[in-house]
């Protein structure tokens, strides 16, 4: 038995690979190395002015006290109105729980729905924190791989084959982090048909990137009333409104689940920042032009990165339909070696996707994230939430570095 004072629960958790790579990138930059960070999932735009002004007004109007655990009623009404407007779905404000970012909303949902020993079906690749949240809840992840040849989307047959009598939850993200894949309505229909046969299985639909899509809109699991009594929708303001640091997310769920999530939050963090909530209220109620402006910028950057990636021999990828990531397969470069001569000689062999990500960081000075962090080895994730100039330079550095491998 370990003599550590740290609980086995926490010792079992893996550190976030995306945050770890971003930290390494920051450390190198602090030491004077010109690193281009494509590892972080964060819009590089400033929060729109009208939202910042709403936060300033909130301070002046003394919104500086504890807020209700599930969030201000005015914000929950604004969210419900936005969902009705965008998804044509009706939620009562009592069904909405506002939390400290969509990450907390996801964690609250998992902890509210998963018992010790339950199985949770997660399509891979998936965001790095899903598996750790399930682990924290005492559950077991059942990973369902969907590689590049099926556009990183699982099939109904795969879902059916993964569900057992111990399955309590399925987690789905569309548009996807890390792949940028977007499920069509027909594809979701196929998955829902499977779920209808398993009424005990709840579903979390992570739609944090739904406003950043390049196909004219995203289908949602909220379109299927057959699963409305067990569906938890998660979203927030971080991506669509460039508000990552404000830490406001929400879950919309059946009342029983919403009450459970609020109960959990009441015993952990309580209500989130009162000032940030008033800013989020303006985000949902105010002008929406900035959302489209940023979406168009991401689409232009997507096209730029795709064009540059096509000039790199051996890099295999699908054109992402949403989010702001490219997720290329890199197995053509694994098993290759390098020798770089300078003041000192650097040499080694790239055996894994993690080796490749470290090679690109140390020798191309571009930070990426290994696909294994997302449950799918032999890939890397590149974020194109950066300026055109940074992206052009980063892709050239990657091209040169990969060409060195032999």
Answer CATH for 8-46+290-404 from 3.90.1150.10, 3.40.630.10, 3.30.1490.190, 3.90.1200.10: 3.90.1150.10
Quickly tell me which residue has 């008033």 as its tokens. Answer: 278
Terminal alpha carbon distance of the chain: 45
Give the pLDDT score at 2.
Answer: 63
CATH 3.40.640.10 range(s) for the chain read 54-286
Residue 1, pLDDT > 60, answer no
CATH 3.90.1150.10 range(s) for the chain read 8-46+290-404
9 burial level (CB within 10 Å; 0-12, 13-18, 19+): exposed
Task: Give the tens place of pLDDT for each residue, 328-354.
Answer: 999 999 999 999 988 788 899 999 999
How far is residue 338's CA from residue 250's CA, in Å, rounded to a whole number?
A: 47
pLDDT (average), residues 380-403: 98
Read off the pLDDT band of 3 (50, 70, 90).
confident
- Residues 48, 237 contacting (CB under 8 angstroms): no
Q: How many CB atoms lie within 10 A of CB 44?
A: 17
Residues 6+ apart with CB under 8 A from 87: 220, 222, 223
Among 125, 41, 15, 29, smallest CA distance to 361 is for: 29
Token pair, residue 169, equals 């939850």
Token pair, residue 288, equals 């929406």
Report which DSSP code applies to 329: B
Distances (CA, A) of 85 to 88, 228, 306: 6, 18, 33
Residue 64, pLDDT > 60, answer yes
How far is residue 150's CA from residue 326's CA, in Å, rounded to a whole number?
A: 16
pTM: 0.96
Among 215, 7, 255, 220, smallest CA distance to 112 is for: 255
How far is residue 141's CA from residue 159's CA, in Å, rounded to a whole number?
A: 13
Task: Annotate 15-37 with DSSP letters as a single string.
Answer: PPHHHHHHHHHHHHHHTT---EE
pLDDT (average), residues 38-44: 92
H/E element, 235: strand 231-236
Residues 6+ apart with CB under 8 A from 398: 312, 360, 364, 366
Give the pLDDT score at 23.
Answer: 87
Token pair, residue 231, equals 């569906």
Query: Could you tell me which residue, 204 or 1, shows the higher pLDDT?
Result: 204
Give Dmax over CA atoms of the chain in angstroms.
65
CATH for 54-286 is 3.40.640.10
Q: b or e along 85-124 (b: 16 or more beta carbons within 10 Å of the residue's beta carbon)?
A: ebbebebebebbbbbbbbbbbbbbbbbbbbeeebbbbbbb
């Amino acid at each position: 038995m370990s003599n550590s004072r740290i609980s086995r629960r926490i010792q079992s958790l893996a550190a976030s690979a995306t945050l770890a790579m971003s930290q390494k990138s920051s450390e190198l930059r602090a030491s004077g190395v010109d690193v281009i960070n494509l590892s972080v999932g964060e819009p590089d735009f400033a929060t729109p002015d009208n939202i910042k002004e709403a936060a300033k007004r909130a301070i002046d109007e003394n919104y500086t006290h504890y807020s209700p655990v599930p969030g201000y009623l005015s914000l929950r009404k604004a969210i419900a109105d936005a969902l009705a407007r965008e998804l044509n779905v009706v939620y009562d404000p009592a069904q909405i729980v506002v939390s400290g970012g969509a990450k907390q909303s996801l964690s609250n949902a998992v902890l509210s729905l998963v018992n010790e020993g339950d199985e949770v079906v997660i399509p891979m690749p998936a965001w790095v924190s899903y598996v750790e949240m399930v682990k924290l809840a005492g559950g077991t992840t059942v990973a369902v791989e969907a590689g590049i040849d099926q556009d990183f989307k699982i099939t109904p047959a795969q879902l059916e084959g993964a569900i057992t009598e111990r399955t309590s939850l399925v987690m789905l993200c569309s548009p996807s982090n890390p792949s940028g894949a977007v499920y069509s309505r027909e594809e979701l229909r196929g998955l829902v048909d499977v779920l209808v046969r398993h009424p005990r299985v709840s579903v979390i639909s992570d739609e944090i990137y739904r406003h950043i899509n390049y196909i004219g809109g995203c289908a949602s699991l909220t379109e299927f009333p057959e699963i409305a009594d067990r569906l938890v929708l998660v979203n927030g303001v971080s991506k669509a409104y460039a508000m990552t640091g404000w830490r406001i997310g929400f879950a919309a769920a059946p009342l029983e689940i919403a009450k459970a999530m609020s109960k959990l939050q009441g015993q952990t963090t309580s209500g989130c920042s009162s000032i940030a909530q008033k800013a989020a209220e303006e985000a949902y109620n105010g002008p929406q032009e900035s959302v489209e402006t940023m979406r168009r910028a991401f689409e232009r950057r997507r096209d730029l990165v795709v064009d540059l990636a096509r000039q790199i021999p051996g890099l295999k990828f699908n054109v992402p339909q949403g989010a702001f990531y490219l997720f290329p397969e890199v197995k053509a470069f694994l098993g290759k070696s390098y020798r770089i001569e300078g003041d000192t000689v650097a040499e080694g062999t790239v055996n894994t996707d993690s080796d490749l990500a470290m090679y690109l960081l140390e020798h191309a000075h571009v930070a990426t994230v290994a696909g294994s962090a997302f449950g799918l080895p032999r890939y890397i994730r590149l974020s194109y939430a950066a300026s055109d100039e940074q992206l052009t330079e980063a892709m050239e550095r990657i091209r040169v570095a990969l060409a060195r491998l032999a």
